């Protein structure tokens, strides 16, 4: 009988630890798609117009003053500000062609591989 009393708490402890480990594995912390902070209170859902995915963002990022011209997500860090007042997020800026000379020398087949073309006529001075 004494042996059973000694092992019962150990089994209980192992069972509790196993449940905690499993709950942490399945309960990942959700983070804001813009700033990466943990989402606690209010969560705002926005659609990325490029990927058509729903993104969860925090209240602070939901009310940022500028949005990406291509994907419509708020821009916070690493964005590009265009001369005409538009903004590109860091991701979309890497694939956007905004230089007229670069656009003229890029092979046409490349345009279909995910490049975002900003109308040159929309830039100031055109």
pLDDT digits (tens, 9 = 90+) for 37-57: 999 888 999 999 999 999 999
Residue-range definition of the domain harbouring residue 33? 3-122
For the beta carbon of residue 91, count every other beta carbon within 10 angstroms. Answer: 17
Convert the pLDDT of each residue in 66-95 to its tens digit: 999 999 999 999 999 998 899 999 999 888
Q: How far apart are CA 102 and CA 117, in angstroms?
A: 11
CA distance 115 to 100: 14
Nearest in space to 70 (alpha carbons), one of 40, 48, 103: 48
The mean pLDDT value for 3-15 works out to 62
How many domains does the chain fold into? 1
Tens-place pLDDT, residues 97-121: 777 776 666 665 555 455 555 554 4
Q: Could you write out the DSSP letters of every residue in 65-102?
A: S-BBTTT--B--SS-EE-TTS-EE-HHHHTTEE--HHH
């Amino acid at each position: 009988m004494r042996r059973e009393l000694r092992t019962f708490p150990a089994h209980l402890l192992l069972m509790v630890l196993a449940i905690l480990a499993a709950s942490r594995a399945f309960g990942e912390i959700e983070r804001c798609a813009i700033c990466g902070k943990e989402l606690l209170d209010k969560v705002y859902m926005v659609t990325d117009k490029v990927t058509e995915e729903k993104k969860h963002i925090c209240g602070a990022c939901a009310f940022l003053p500028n949005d990406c011209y291509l994907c419509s997500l708020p821009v916070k860090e690493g964005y590009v500000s265009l001369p005409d007042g538009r903004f590109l997020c860091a991701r979309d800026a890497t694939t956007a062609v905004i230089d007229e000379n670069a656009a003229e020398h890029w092979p046409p087949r490349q345009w279909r591989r995910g490049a975002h073309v900003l109308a040159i006529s929309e830039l100031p001075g055109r």
